[in-house]
Each structure stands twice: as structure tokens, then as C-alpha cells.
Amino acid sequence: MRLLRALLRGAAPGNIPQQVDFYSRFSPSPLSMKQFLDFGSENACEKTSFMFLRQELPVRLANIMKEISLLPDNLLRTPSVQLVQSWYVQSLQEILDFKDKSSEDSGAVQSFTDTVIKIRNRHNDVIPTMAQGVIEYKESFGIDPVTSQNVQYFLDRFYMSRISIRMLLNQHSLLFGGKINPAHPKHIGSIDPNCNVVEVIKDGYENAKSLCDLYYMSSPELILEELNSKSPGQPMQVVYVPSHLYHMIFELFKNAMRATMEHHADRGIYPAIHVHITLGNEDLTVKMSDRGGGVPMRKIDRLFNYMYSTAPRPRVETSRATPLAGFGYGLPISRLYAQYFQGDLKLYSLEGYGTDAVIYIKALSTESIERLPVYNKAAWKHYKANHEADDWCVPSSEPKDMTTFRSM
């Protein structure tokens, strides 16, 4: 907390710490996909968006800024984490500058849109920069189970908050920034009202295949099956953010291809990757199955652990570089994208055979509601609680020799 307040004092007027305390007392207001869609397609009004965002963005920023301050002091002192904090402080200050501006002032509303675009661009590198801070901390101080658990809890919430803030920034800037993407004229901001899931999957496969061909000189084929039980014979379409779905699909294809190529390197024959898509009344489900040898059950959770990555330390350059290359954050971030609108991403592995990755997406836009972290007493207790010994026996790697025990 002392470090955060020092940053706040150094980067902004003296009332900013009080503003963080004030806005963090409010819970963020989650929006449904239908609300995003209805506003953008029927009632798109820049003044209304301006009035909502100047209240909602400070709440979302302040809530996660309070949690940042609960991290270990040595992690907060890393240059990368301090840089991320400075971005959040600056962005909060810039939004608060519009707190008392009138929505009838067209100049103020246009200036706000320009500020939203500037903030969005400033936060482009938040994920790799925070990841770099975790690496700096891990290299300098090592890691213990309690810190690892707290950092895992924080990063899931921090990155989810970042996804949600970016969603709001993107919707406003795309709707009112004056530029329409000619490639996607029917999109409502970043949302496709008729997102063609098959096309996104094929796009993700082709791009992952290009990388695989480049590195391994070959790649597994794709076998795609689809079942629309909700509307038989109709295309697989849902209201969704295509870039979110693509991020998940591309990451899963990369992992499946790498595992398949390495597991079958000696044979030189690479089994195809099977993708099944089903659309029901409640869920759209994508299952990707590979023959890449799988992983042991005990390692499944590690695949989603930010602190566990054994990849070599990457060099952070710009957001134009390959996203998260070397950080090992692909799967945990993909799961957050799935969970953001109440879906999920799960892995089921058969060691020695292969892995099934399953993405669940809500089929109804009314049920696709933002999943947002909120700073409250429960969150505070998570960071401050003493993690006591487990209440289950921990198996020994060397079981006791029972022949040494005497009978009673």
C-alpha cells in the first residue's frame, strides 16, 4: 500500500489516493453480451457511453489497483510492476478529469473518446509487462507455496479485469472513434452478432499450421465435425467476440500441433487433430482432440499456473511481437477469455495417448454476462489469511517399512 501511495503522489494530484479508496468501495457493473449488442446496434449514443464509462472505468480501475497494493512488497518493487502501476494511475487520473464535464459539451465528449483510445494503446503491453515483473521477482527471491498461491489468485483477477476494461475501451473507440473496419462492417464494436465459429476455427488452424510447417517442416491435418442440434442444417453462429475465440483456438492448436509433432517424431506420421463443434440450447461447445501423448494428471493444473512456466526468459519488446511468446501464459489467459462471458476452458488428458481441450461458450447472449473481480473483504482476506497445513494426509514418496512396527 505504501508503494502504491508513493506512486500515486508522484504521478498525480494529492486527491488520487482518496479517489482510489472512494471508487473501490463500489462494485463493477457487469454487462451482458445482449446489453453490449443492443446499445451498439440500436441506441448507440456517444454521450450515453461517455456518462457510463466515466463512472464505470474508475470503479474497475480502482478495484484492481487496491488488489495490486496487497502483493508482496518485493514484487511491487520490481521495475515492471511499478511501470504497470504507473499506467493505471495515469489512466485513472485521465478518466477522472472528465468527472465534472457536461455530456452536452461536444468538445469534451470527443476529447473523452480520444482519451479512451490513448488509454487503450497505453495498456497494450500490460500482460507481458506484468509477466516480466513476476519473472524478475522469481529470479531474485524464488517462490514459496503461499506466495505462488496468492500470485496465481491475483493474476487471474488482474488479467480478467484487464480483459473487461479493454472490452469497454474497444467498444467505445470502435463505435465512436470515427473508423469502421471495412473487413467487418457488420460488427458491433468488437462483437460479431453472427460469429461463424467454424470460420474462426479454420482461421486459427491455418495460422497455427503455418507456424508448425515453418518449425517442423510438416503439420497434422484437421478433421472438423459439427452438430447444430439447436437449428439443424444452419451455420454454427453465436453472438461473440471473434478475437477472444480466435485467441483460445489458436493457442490450443499450437499446443496440440507441438505435442503431436514431438510425440510422433520418430515415426514421421502425424495423426490428425479432431475438432468437434456442437451447438445446443444453452452451450456452444468446441472439443479439440490430439494424439500428442498427453500429460500426467498431476501436471494438468500446472499448465494453468503463471508461476510454473519453465520457458527461457523472454525479451519484452512491443505489442507487435508474438503475444506472450516464452511466458507460458497462453493457456491461463485463454481460460480467462472463456470464463469472461461465463464460459470455461478445460483439459482432459490421457497420458500416453493425447489430450482433449474443451471450450464452453454460452449460446444465449442474455446469459453471456461479464465475470468481474471485485475488491472486498473476502478478496482482502485471501491475501492476508495464514495458509495452514492441509487437512488431508500428504503421501510420502517413500512409504514406511511396516515390518519395523511391532504388533500390539
Would you call 42 a catalytic residue per the annotation?
Answer: no
- Rounded Cα distance between 343 and 283, Å, is 9
- Running DSSP on this structure, what letter comes out for residue 385? S
Would you call 251 a catalytic residue per the annotation?
Answer: yes
DSSP helix/strand/coil, 356? strand
Burial class (CB in 10 A: 0-12, 13-18, 19+), 30: middle
What contacts 207, CB < 8 A, 6 or more positions away?
A: 250
- Running DSSP on this structure, what letter comes out for residue 300? T
Q: Please give the grid coordinates belonging to residue 249.
A: 483456438
Cα 32 off chain centre by: 17
Amino acid identity of 35?
A: Q
What contacts 333, CB < 8 A, 6 or more positions away?
A: 127, 159, 247, 251, 324
Q: Please give the grid coordinates belonging to residue 170.
A: 474497444
Catalytic residue among 63, 251, 263, 370: 251
Evaluate whether 102 touches 60 at the Cβ level (below 8 Å): no
Catalytic residue among 66, 123, 244, 247: 247
Sign of the alpha-carbon torsion through 73, 79, 84, 89: positive
Amino acid identity of 118?
A: K
Evaluate whether 385 touches 369 at the Cβ level (below 8 Å): no
Would you call 247 a catalytic residue per the annotation?
Answer: yes
Burial class (CB in 10 A: 0-12, 13-18, 19+), 224: middle
Element housing 106 (H / E):
helix 106-122
Catalytic residue among 170, 255, 274, 370: 255
Map grid coordinates 490430439 to a residue.
290
Per the document, the length of the chain is 408
Catalytic residue among 47, 254, 264, 382: 254
- Rounded Cα distance between 48 and 41, Å, is 14
Map grid coordinates 482461421 to a residue.
203
Q: Which residues are catalytic?
A: 247, 251, 254-255
